[in-house]
Every structure is written in structure tokens, then in C-alpha cells.
A and B are shown apart, each in its own frame.
Chain A
Amino acid sequence: MLLPWLILLPFIGGLLCWQSERFSRALPRWIAVLSMVLTLLLSLMMWGQGHFSLAMPQGIPQWQSEFILPWIPRFGISFHFALDGLSLLMVVLTAFLGLLSIVCSWNEVDKREGLFHLNLLWIVGGVMGVFLAIDMFLFFFFWEMMLIPMFFLIALWGHKGSDERTRIATAIKFFIYTQVSGLVMLVAIIGLVFVHYRATGVWTFDYNHLIGTKMSSPVAYLLMLGFFVAFAVKMPLIPLHGWLADAHAQSPTAGSVDLAGLLLKTAAYGLLRFVLPFFPHASAEFAPIAMWLGVISIFYGAWLAFSQTDIKRLVAYSSVSHMGLVMVAIYTGSQLAYQGAIVMMIAHGLSAAGLFILCGQLYERIGTRDMREMGGLWGRLRYLPGLSMFFAVASLGMPGTGNFVGEFMMLFGSYKVVPLITIISTFGVVFASIYSLVMIHRAYYGEAKSDAPLAVMSIREFSMILSLVVLLVLLGIFPQGVLETSHAAIANIQHYFMTASSLSITGISTTGL
């Protein structure tokens, strides 16, 4: 019964924020923080009570907690939320980063605070919905819904340094990319439902029923592509990444945190949750293409990151590179790689959020994001450069941080299945260290442009960053808690993929990849 509250809390909180604006300018912020704290506590409580580590994988979807309410009986659509280890981890991450995104924009917004927090909270609510919904219609509903507040966030409260026309153009570009790919997915969802309807005569959008729908392989391939396009845009995978850097460059810090930390994760989650179990054969057939696209993303993303002068765009492109590796891992069908991908998603969410928050703080102090105008900041700022350094090395996968665990497990798991791709991907890690260190070098070392000291970090800023640092290190040193939580869910997904595709996967590895 508690499940819908994970979604309702942010939504109701958002409406309250909007209306409370008329009483006080600070009130929306406090309401937003309160509702996110409650959401976070609720999700942690579910983690505590769920006994996720005790679940034994049985090869069918196993939900620790479920909620069903009929919605549109005409098509067999219901409000069907369910939680397993995989979604739980994502939910906790969402709640935490949602809280962080509110705290990090504490002083950034100076107009229409109520509406700003409404949008921020509704993004979180939408993402929660995506992670919890297992009715395909409901999933799509949230998938599209979370874009609207993001659109307004970029268009109305975007980067202060650029003019309104650029912001709106960027927001519309972001929206069109994601919405069109979303519509393609809707077509695929409807197609899947029709296939199921023709076979059984039952209208249903329910994940539990649609799973294992029999269909001919060309149909399966087409429908799989429909889903894949939507997730590839969100991931983002080269060549569908055009919106990402602009959207990051123009969005406020809170928007970037949500975008990199949460929205990108919905794509990887969608691939794991839906594409692989629905279309195991077609996915196995498609795996080489997806993996190679992933490899291209790793290197092209790294190259683009390296050549940026805007520090925020650099971080944005580094996510393309990291998510490329996740893509490779997802299509290997190895349980170890899957677990690595989960850890990587969480770690990347935390480290990218940290980097974006630091970029925001840097911008508030020096008024630019252009690295050519930085330099020598190490002497002028306390704490901030050191912390940036930490997140940079976390992002390049230094042992002791969660990113290392994730990358290590992904590479290990993939090697057994696709040695060549794995070996090539490993070099991506080298590139990661190049662009990460170049960023630190350009921004913080070298000749100082001026001697004027800059404002020190406030307690709010410091504690935010510190919490991220602690979590990243914790994840790096003790990932077992996370691994145990997601184990059953991952094993089930892997079971679907492997039973269907054990032949074709070995086929891949012997055909020279």
C-alpha cells in the first residue's frame, strides 16, 4: 500500500509548493525538501523491510511489493506498480538525487520559486513512476510525463548566461528527440499488445502477462527496435545523442543533476526490465549491433568530452562514454556484467551529480563555465578543487570508488562472452582518465587569471558534496549490500535472456567479435 506514495509524495509536494509561493518565497523550498525527505525515508524503509537479499531467483518476475488498481478496463490497463530489487535501488537513488537537486538550487532560483519546485518534484515523481510501473501503458505515461517538467525547467529557469531563444530552442530539441522516440515506443507497445490480443483474445498491458508472448521473429525484431530507439535516445547512444550536451549546457544545476543522475538511468533500466525479457531472441540477434554502438559511444563520447571548453558539456559527454559501457554490459547476458551495470548506474548517478553540482558552484563563483577562462583556481578556492579532483578520479574509475567496482565487474563479466569488444572497451577507461584529468588541469592548475579570493563553500554546499563522497566510497568499499539487493531481479532477467539466447550468444563470440 505504500508504493503509490513514493510517486504521490513528490506530486502532491509539487502542487503545495506551487500554491505556497503566495505566502512566502522560502516556503516552496522547505515544502520540497520535506516531501523529498519523506520520500527518501519511505524508500529506505522499504529497503529495510523488503528482505531483498533473501529472495531466491525463480526465473519469473518476483515482486516484493505490489499495488494494483484498475484504470482503463477497456484495454486491460491498470495502475500496476511493483517493486523488486532492481527498481528499489533505482527508487532510492531517485529519492536521494531528487533531494540533492532541491538543496543544490537553494539560492540559484530567483523567480517563480513555487513553479520551479513544482517542476523539480514532478520530474522526480515521473522518474519514480517509470521505475515502479509494470503496466506498459502506465510506464509510457510516466516516461513521457517526466519530460514536460524537464522541458519547462530548461526553457524557463535555464542557464543564465544564454539568452531565452537558445534556451527554448534547446528545450524543444530535447523534447522532440525524446518524445518522438517515445512515440515509436508507444507504437511498439501497442503492437506488442495486439500480438498478445490476437493470440489470447485478452486485452492487457500488464508486464507479467505480456512477458513470454509468442511472436514471429521479424515482428519481434521490429517491436524490439521500437523499444530500443526510445531507450537509446535517452541513454544516449551515438548517433542519437544530439540533445544531451545542449540540454545540460542550458539547464539549471538541479536540472542537470536530474538529467544525468536519473533520466539517463531510466533508459538502462528500461532495457533491462523490458527489452530483454520481452524480446530475448530478437535482443540476442541485435546484441552485436547494440554492443558496437556502445563501443562507438564509449570512444566518441570520450573524444567529444576531451575537446570541450565548457566544463558542463565535458561532464555531459563523459556520461555518453560511461553509458556506452553500460550498454555493452547489458547485451552480454552475463550476470556479473549486469550487476556491474547496476553498480555503475548508481555510481555514475552519484559522481555525475557531484560534478554537475560542483560545476554549478563554480559558475556561481566565477561567472563562467569556459575552461579557457579558468585556470589557477586551486589557490583561490578552498575545498572545491580537491572535491572536484575526487569526483574526477571517481569518474575515471579509481579503485575505492563505486565506479571502479562497476567498471571492473562489467568488464570481467563481458570478457567471457565477447572478448574482443571487452578488450576494446577497456581502452575507454584510459580515455576517461585523459579527459577527467584534463578537466582538472585546465580548470584548477596553471596560471591564475586573478588573485581575488573567491567565496568559500557554505555548509549546505559542503555537506551535499560530502554526502556524495561518502556514498561513493561506501559503494566502492562495500558494494555487497547493493549486489545482494538486486541479485534476484537480475538473475530473473538474465534467465529470460539466456534461456532464449544461449545458442546465439555463443554464436556471436565464435564469429570473431
Chain B
Amino acid sequence: MSISIQQLAAFSPLLIVDLSVIVVMLAIAWRRCHKMTAGLSIIGLIAAILSLFFVSGDIPAHLTSLLQVDGFTLFYSALVLIAGLATCIFGYSWLKEHQDNKDEFYLLVLISTGGAILLACANHIATLFLGIELVSLPLFGLVGYVFQQKPSLEASIKYMLLSAGASAFMLFGMALLYADTGTLSFAGIASGLGQSMDQQPLLLVGIGMLLVGICFKLSLAPFHLWTPDVYQGAPAPVATFLATSSKIAIFAVLVRIFIEAPLIDLPSVKLVLSVIAIASILFGNFMAVSQTNIKRLLGYSSIAHLGYLLIVLVAIKDRQLAIETTGVYLVGYLFASLGSFGAVSLLSSPNRGQDVEEISDYRGLFKRRPLIAVVMSLMMLSLAGIPMTLGFIGKFYVLAVAMQGSLWWLSAAVVVGSAIGLYYYLRVAVSVFLPSLNGHVAEVVETSSLSIKAGALVLLVSAAIVVILGVYPQPLIDCVQFAKPW
């Protein structure tokens, strides 16, 4: 099978990211210079984002049966690239005072971003597995990046062990699928499903195991136990990346599978996914209520958010609405997470021990750093789904998709979950405006340097996007309608 230049051109975002991995690696080998490495990575990511615009004329394009590029790919590639870019920018100011090697951070982020783009292109179970591993493996290193601090190391080991287990499940599931259908492409599984759905226990078990692995990566209940610890232990910029890039990419590929193959027609899959969605929404929100550590809180809240999103899969019958919901919700989730984790990482430094992560540390922030305080508060409101923020549009879509599919229990779970969610989001949102306790200041005080300014700019842009698209979402909806995998 020959590959034309045009086909390759369609994959330029992926290729550019991979190329920048090599360039950065060589640059590090040549000379360790924090500024240069960061600069090269950021340039690479920006180039990849720009290439998306040129590619948009060439879609859809296929590269063997493993990969394909369509609107869906481009949209989710853009999201993970933005996540990677923001992580590099936050990472730069955060790492500046790190005493150990700083450069590998960017390398790992780039590799993981490459994996995420691969997932967005995946059209085949093999690519799916490759992508998931490529996303997760660098994350082990990133989570344990400040291994001198015990929580970071602990989180890394925990994440690695559990992740390996989940991968094993996934592989086994894939093997069973292959045993049953004799093919590994998504379309092949779909036709395998079509033949005789009920008499295929092997297929069901295979799908089940695949879902276990994916649910683990998405930290859905009951496979969520690692989430709070890892979020807490991971350095703040890494937590940003973990919460956004990996989850967005994996969820995107999951949506693609469910659209290609009518898995949701199997009553057992539908039931299991509904139960997982409800459990994630309730567990995530309930557990978040009692947290005093903001990273743990955001960890639990991400469980709940993916629970809301899982409703899309259950209601995927209406493909158009489902695709729009996924896109809109994930964009809202991406920018709200970037904003909130970004605020944490801008205030923290590895030099000062643990990150600024107790909610009480954020008191008085409005007086000291008004911009970060307002952004933080705004992002909490967006995560809570309050009107005038993008989070609300996302929630509206989720409710619409649930109502369209007549999923009453899931709609009720969204309402209950949001109610509980308000409790802890509002607490954080209001705490930045409260007077600080006995003059204790936990965060970095320096504000003038370029790196902090760049980080603040990212926060500002995220906040602006959340508010502007929250008030006027039509451009986003147009954009999402373009992102369809058919």
C-alpha cells in the first residue's frame, strides 16, 4: 500500500509533534538550557495547532486502516494541543526554581500529546492501544517529576501500577474481541456485532474488559480510586495535563468507537454504562464535598464531570446531538480545568515544598492577586455549570441529550449531582474573596517575571473563552458541528 504525500500532509499535526519530540531531545543532548527547551516545545505545539488549519482542506484522509483524519480528529487534536501548550507555559514558571533537571518535562509532555493526537486519529484497536499507552507512559514520569517529594513519588508508583493493570485488562479484552470477530478495526467490530448479538459471550466479555481499561483511564467510578491521590501528588502543571489532555483524547476515541459500532444496542452495555455514569456523578460529587485540598477536590470533580459526559455514550443514538454535546462539554471542561489548575500552578513552586493546595491558602487572594482570584472563582462557577459560563452550555447540552434519549434517571442524576457540586465549588469560589487568616501567605509572591505573565495570559484567555462562549456559544457550536467522524 503506497502512501501519497497528500495523505501524509493530512497527518502533519501528528508529524510536527513527533518531529518536535526529536528536536527537543537532540537539543537537550546538545545543551541543557531551560529557556531553549521550553521555547522549542512551545514553538512545536503552536506549529502543530497552525497546521490544523491547513489540513482542514484535505479531510477526510486515511493512512492504512489504522489511522484516519476527519473533522473529529482535527477538533480533538486542537483541544489536546491547547492543553499541551498551556501545560508547557505553566510548567515553565513552575519549574524555574526546580533544582533538578527541568528539560525532560517538556519532552514527556510532547510525547504524551503526540499519543493523544494519535488517539484522535485512531480507527483501529491497535492504534487505540498504542495511543493510550503513549499518553499514559510519559505521565508516570511526569507525575513523579519531583520525586524528591514523597507524595509525588507515591502518586507516580500508584498510577503506574494501577495503570499497568488496566492496560492488561484492555489488552485481554482486545484479544477476546479479535478471537471473536477476527478483525481489530472499529468497522470490523461493528460488523461483527451486527451478526448475532446475543449469542456471543466472548464478544461481551471482550467489550467489558476493554471498557474496564478505558473507564480506569477516565477515572470513572468504580475505577476511580487512584484519582484523588494522583491529582494531589502530581505537580500542579502535570495535574493540568492529566485532567485535560489524556481524558479528552481517550473520551474522544471512545465516542468514535461507539459511533462506529452500535455497542449501545447491547442492553447489558447500556445498563453498565448508565450505572457507571450515575455512580461517577454521585461518588465524585459526594467525595469532593469533604475535601480541603483543592487538587483532590478537582480530582473528584473530574470524576463527576466524566460521569456527566458518559451520558452522551448512553444516548448516542442521536449522533448529531451526541457529537455536539461531547465537543461543547469537553471544551468547557478543558478551559475550566486549565484555568483552575493553572491558577494553582502559577501560585506554586517546587522550591517551596508542596503546591499551594489547601483551600484556606486561597483566602485573601483577591487582595494579593486579583486576576488569579477572579479567574479561579470564575472557573469554579463554570465547573458548577452556572449561566454566563461555558460550563452551563455544556450542562444544558448534557440535559438535552439525556432528555432526547428519555433517560430520566440520568437526568435526575445530573440535577442531584449539580446540587451537591454547588456546595464545594461555591466554597472555593467565595474563599478567594475572604480575608486571609493571620497574614499567612503560602504562594509565590513574585509577579513581574515574563513567565508568570505568560501564565497569567493563559488564565486570562481561558477565562475570556469560558465567559464569551458561555454568553455567545454559537461559534463553538458551528465549530463542533464540523467535528464529526462521518
Chain A residues with CB under 8 Å of chain B are 71-75, 112, 115, 137, 140-142, 144-145, 148, 151-152, 155-156, 164, 168, 171-172, 175-176, 179-180, 183-184, 186-187, 190-191, 194
Contacts and interface: CB of A to CB of B under 8 A. Distances in A.
**What's the dominant secondary structure at chain A's contact region?**
helix
Nearest to A222: B408
A17 B388 CA distance: 20
Contact of B399 (A75, A151, A186): A186
Contact of A187 (B324, B386, B399): B399
A171 B423 CA distance: 10
A164 B419 CA distance: 22
Nearest to A146: B387
B8 interface: no
Contacts of B477: 72, 74
Contacts of B415: 180, 183-184, 187
B411 A187 contact: yes
B396 A175 contact: no
B182 to A, nearest CB: 41
A144 B36 CA distance: 48
B422 A176 contact: yes
Contacts of A187: 399, 403, 411, 415
B191 interface: no
Nearest to A173: B423
Contact of A179 (B414, B422, B481): B422
Contacts of A151: 426, 430
A483 to B, nearest CB: 35
Q: Which 7 A-B pairs have the closest CB atoms?
A: A180-B419, A144-B387, A183-B415, A155-B430, A141-B387, A145-B387, A74-B477
B357 to A, nearest CB: 20
Given A176-B423, A186-B396, A72 B434 contact: no
Contacts of B399: 183, 186-187, 190
B57 to A, nearest CB: 25
28 contacts: A72-B473, A72-B474, A73-B474, A141-B387, A141-B388, A142-B387, A144-B386, A144-B392, A148-B381, A148-B386, A152-B430, A155-B430, A156-B433, A156-B434, A171-B426, A172-B422, A175-B422, A175-B426, A176-B419, A176-B422, A179-B422, A180-B419, A180-B422, A187-B403, A187-B411, A187-B415, A190-B400, A194-B403
B433 A152 contact: yes
A155 B430 CA distance: 7
Given A144-B387, A180-B415, A180-B419, A71 B403 contact: no
B424 to A, nearest CB: 9
Interface in B341-385: 381
Contacts, number: 77
Interface string B155-175: 000000000000000000000
B302 interface: no
B472 interface: yes
Nearest to B406: A194
A187 B407 CA distance: 12
Contacts of A71: 472, 474
A194 B433 contact: no
Interface residues of B, number: 28
A316 B427 CA distance: 26
Given A75-B400, A144-B387, 5 more contacts: A141-B388, A152-B433, A156-B430, A168-B430, A179-B419
Which of B324, B392, B415 has most A Cβ within 10 Å? B415
Contacts of B433: 112, 115, 152, 155-156
Contacts of B396: 137, 186, 190
A118 B397 CA distance: 30
Contacts of A141: 387-388
B386 A172 contact: no
Contacts of B473: 72
A71 B387 CA distance: 15
Interface string B297-328: 00000000000000000000000000010000
B418 interface: yes
Contacts of B101: none
A140 B387 CA distance: 9
A201 B386 CA distance: 29
Nearest to A143: B387
A173 to B, nearest CB: 9
Contacts of A156: 430, 433-434
Contacts of A186: 396, 399
Interface string B467-485: 0000011100100010000
B404 interface: yes
Which of A71, A75, A187 has most B Cβ within 10 Å? A187
A190 B387 contact: no
Given A155-B430, A179-B419, A190 B403 contact: yes
A49 to B, nearest CB: 30
A71 B393 CA distance: 13
A190 B321 CA distance: 14
A176 B392 CA distance: 16
Contacts of A180: 415, 418-419, 422
Nearest to A186: B399
A191 B403 contact: yes
Interface string B424-452: 00110010011000000000000000000
A179 B422 CA distance: 9
A141 B385 CA distance: 11
Contacts of A73: 474
Contacts of B430: 151-152, 155-156, 168, 171
B472 A183 contact: no
Given A164-B434, A194-B404, A172 B427 contact: yes
Given A148-B386, A179-B418, A74 B400 contact: no
A194 B422 CA distance: 27
Nearest to A144: B387
Contacts of B426: 151, 171-172, 175
Nearest to B404: A194
A420 to B, nearest CB: 36
Given A144-B386, A187-B415, A194-B403, A172 B423 contact: yes
B423 A74 contact: no
A115 B434 CA distance: 13
B427 A168 contact: yes
B2 to A, nearest CB: 42
A168 B459 CA distance: 26
A121 B426 CA distance: 21
Contacts of A115: 433
A74 B396 CA distance: 13
Contacts of B386: 144-145, 148, 179
Contact of A74 (B387, B403, B472, B474): B474
Interface in B77-107: none
Contacts of A179: 386, 418-419, 422
Nearest to B393: A72
A75 B411 CA distance: 19
A255 B422 CA distance: 21
Contacts of A175: 422, 426
Contacts of B403: 187, 190-191, 194
A407 B399 CA distance: 41
Contacts of B419: 176, 179-180, 183
Interface in B227-264: none
A234 to B, nearest CB: 16
A75 B404 CA distance: 13
B286 to A, nearest CB: 14
Contacts of B404: 194
A513 B386 CA distance: 42
B296 to A, nearest CB: 20
B411 A145 contact: no
B42 to A, nearest CB: 33
A129 to B, nearest CB: 10
B205 to A, nearest CB: 36
A300 B426 CA distance: 32
A466 to B, nearest CB: 36
